[in-house]
Structure 1
Amino acid sequence: MTDEARTGVRLAFDALGGIVDVVRDVHRAIAGPGLAAVAAPVFGAVRVGLAAGGAVAEAVARGSLPVGLTGVVNGAVGDRLRTDYPALATPLRATVDGPLDGHVVVFLHGLVHTEQRWGHRDVAEEVGATAVHVRYNSGLSTTDNGRDLAVHLETLVTGNPITRLSLVGHSMGGLVARAAVHEALANGQRWLSPLREVICLGSPHLGSPVERAAATAVRLLNAFPESAPFGELVDRRSTGIKSLAHGTAYSAAPHVRQHFLAATVATNPTSTTGRLLGDLLVSTTSATAPAAEADRHVLGGLGHSALLHHPEVRAKLVEFLA
């Protein structure tokens, strides 16, 4: 059995134990100390049973987590994985599709995804470039991942004859790309020299209303003792998710062209509905960041995930990279 399999089993049973704790705490808040004391042995027995079940399941588990599940688990609790379950935490790493010379395009996935979600995998080949697909722990903050990416790109450029570098990020991936540029500017890293464009697809440059709503929900749940355990459970979401609540103040390199591409589910992108709804996860205002130095593009009739595979988006990528 691999370390990843053993750790995955342990994480699953620990998560079940956490749910039992929430139920226990809600019961305690509603029932009062008397009944809570009576029920305590029952919850204790369930906890013991889960511990025993986890030990048995760990003993028979085989294989490793599927790639898709790896992305989801890292995005949801990746910061805790790095500390408590390191075998499941994804270190930043890259897959290279060809020779690292000439034009290289680096693709960065979004929250709870891996590089396998990209539908535009052959865009680099079409424009005569080599694709590099980066996988990272999306449960960490965009700043931390940007710092790791900057280190990786410095190694990439230092050891290979790369003459043009392009970064393409979907959702959180766009913020990670911008964070890497910010880090490189602060430290005078050499990989900025061949960098020509940063392309962000549906990236929440001004924050995500979904995450802001989650933070508000936590505050409301924590206001009452009966619901506070649920607030605590929701508040366990990763640092990476929480970092999407507000905008980023990452610096841009003067010689690098930024393309911010937004989507909206509305057919008319310029309508009030189109601006407000955005792609249902990111508003068009957040995805285009009007105050930033960037070329802005908005496509109508698309949701957030469609940015990964829609032919209109592909055509835009070819246009930006050609």
Structure 2
Amino acid sequence: MADELRTAARLAFDALTGVVGIVQDMHRAIARNGLGPVGDLQSAMAAPIYGMVRVGLAAGSVVAETALRNSAQVLPDKVTGVLNGAIGDRLASHYPALATPLRLHVSEERPPTGHLVVFVHGLVHTEQHWWQDGPDYGQRLADDVGATPLYVRYNSGQRVTTNGARLAVLLDEVVAGWPVPVRDLSLVGYSMGGLVARRAVHEAIEARLRWLDVLRNVICLGSPHLGSPVERGAAVAALVLNGFSASAPLARLVAGRSAGIKDMARGVPCTAAPQARQRFLAATVAADPTSVGGRILGDLLVSTASATDRSQAADRDVVGGLTHPALLHHPEVYARLVTWLSSSADTASG
């Protein structure tokens, strides 16, 4: 982690250099369309200025990295989550010090139990979002149903299939090495995290991993199983911008969103484990979830149709009067978690 700030500085200067290139391309396109040959001459005269800006940014990057060489500070957790969600695929290949490896956070304050609940965060989040802005479902479940909460952190800008495959392997290692026999395992995924959890099950089925034997629940909170209209809108915007020479450089900027974000357009194919229950919980800003507005608006990011996906074998529920972020910290959501996890634990122990 010692070089995290240095890498962040290099990323910032590289991003600024990219913005300069976009501005120059837009300047060139606008000048050419509006002034013809005169515009081309104007662009040629401006080129050295853009070049000097790039040289200045390159020098600034070197100075910043040198100044931060001995810094032990790290980026704030929320910044790390946003960076990984927005461009995590490129971080992994070009700025690995900033790319989040998939790993598990385990609370050491409580003795381990054989009832594990694994929480998988959403896009541009980290595991700390489960407890940063409200009551932590995991610690409350430890008190109320005797579960041990485990929290996954992953690079949400990478493909859902990639993170699902890695999570499947990690869960196999956790169950095999847990200090007490695991009798009950449940996955709770928020938003993208639900897709990652379901993909982990899919990968485990393909590889015949042993942790499937103790899997009881796959709970998805506001997960876009059928995709998100927000991401589909971004894809359309990129196409529209690319249709005009003056705005085509901006299309590159929109198209640069991460592979993980692009996966949100249509969802990800997953196979369900027959011995486990899928539980899909959706939210809608409308007080009445059955109203037309409730079905259309959803939680403003994910529609109720996508979050409940009628093509899947699952228990479904919709909570009214909630936005997408409220699914992380709400008493009605927690009440459903307690009901689902208590019933499965009773079944396993019986």
Which TM-score tier does this pair reach, normalised by the shorter chain? Answer: over 0.9
1:122 aligns with 2:145: no
2:123 — aligned with what? Answer: 111
- Runs of 4+ more than 3 Å apart: 98-101
Per the TM alignment, residue 99 of structure 1 is displaced from its structure 2 partner at its CA by 4.3
1:149 — aligned with what? Answer: 167
Structure index of larger Rg: 2
1:241 — aligned with what? Answer: 261
In 1, Cα distance between equivalents of 2:112 and 2:220: 23
1:132 aligns with 2:144: no
1:58 — aligned with what? Answer: 65
2:327 — aligned with what? Answer: 307
Per-residue CA distance 1:102-122 (angstroms, 9 max, x = gap): 100000000000011114231
Q: 1:207 aligned to 203, 227, 240, which one?
A: 227
Per the TM alignment, residue 58 of structure 1 is displaced from its structure 2 partner at its CA by 1.8
Per-residue CA distance 1:39-67 (angstroms, 9 max, x = gap): 10011111111111122222223311111
Residue identity matched to 1:144: T
In 1, Cα distance between equivalents of 2:119 and 2:95: 27
1:48 — aligned with what? Answer: 55
In 1, Cα distance between equivalents of 2:182 and 2:111: 10
Identity of aligned residues (%): 61
Aligned residues: 322
Preserved contact between residue 101 and residue 163 of structure 1 (Cα < 8 Å): no
1:77 — aligned with what? Answer: 87
Residue identity matched to 1:104: L
Residue identity matched to 1:78: G
Q: Secondary structure at the match of 2:313?
A: coil
Preserved contact between residue 269 and residue 299 of structure 1 (Cα < 8 Å): yes
Q: Structure 1: 5+ residue runs without aligned partners?
A: none
Q: Secondary structure at the match of 2:187?
A: strand
2:25 — aligned with what? Answer: 25
Preserved contact between residue 100 and residue 162 of structure 1 (Cα < 8 Å): no
Preserved contact between residue 172 and residue 209 of structure 2 (Cα < 8 Å): yes
Per the TM alignment, residue 249 of structure 1 is displaced from its structure 2 partner at its CA by 2.0
Residue identity matched to 2:161: T
1:223 aligns with 2:243: yes
Per the TM alignment, residue 147 of structure 1 is displaced from its structure 2 partner at its CA by 0.2
Q: Secondary structure at the match of 1:258?
A: strand
In 2, Cα distance between equivalents of 1:99 and 1:163: 16
Q: 2:204 aligned to 184, 209, 224, which one?
A: 184
1:265 aligns with 2:265: no
Per the TM alignment, residue 3 of structure 1 is displaced from its structure 2 partner at its CA by 1.3
Residue identity matched to 1:65: L
Normalising to structure 2: TM-score of the pair? 0.90
In 2, Cα distance between equivalents of 1:47 and 1:189: 51
Per-residue CA distance 1:268-309 (angstroms, 9 max, x = gap): 101111111000000000000011000000000000000000
Q: Secondary structure at the match of 2:166?
A: helix
Preserved contact between residue 17 and residue 54 of structure 2 (Cα < 8 Å): yes
Q: Secondary structure at the match of 1:262?
A: strand
Per the TM alignment, residue 14 of structure 1 is displaced from its structure 2 partner at its CA by 0.8
In 2, Cα distance between equivalents of 1:93 and 1:115: 10
Q: Secondary structure at the match of 1:296?
A: strand
Structure 1 window deviating more from structure 2 (12-21 vs 174-183): it is: 12-21
Per-residue CA distance 1:26-47 (angstroms, 9 max, x = gap): 0011112221111100111111
Structure 1 window deviating more from structure 2 (179-188 vs 100-109): it is: 100-109
Per the TM alignment, residue 157 of structure 1 is displaced from its structure 2 partner at its CA by 1.1
In 1, Cα distance between equivalents of 2:217 and 2:279: 7
1:4 aligns with 2:25: no
Q: Secondary structure at the match of 1:273?
A: helix
Preserved contact between residue 120 and residue 152 of structure 2 (Cα < 8 Å): yes
Q: 1:36 aligned to 27, 30, 43, which one?
A: 43
Indicate the RMSD between aligned Cα atoms, in angstroms: 1.1
Per the TM alignment, residue 311 of structure 1 is displaced from its structure 2 partner at its CA by 1.1
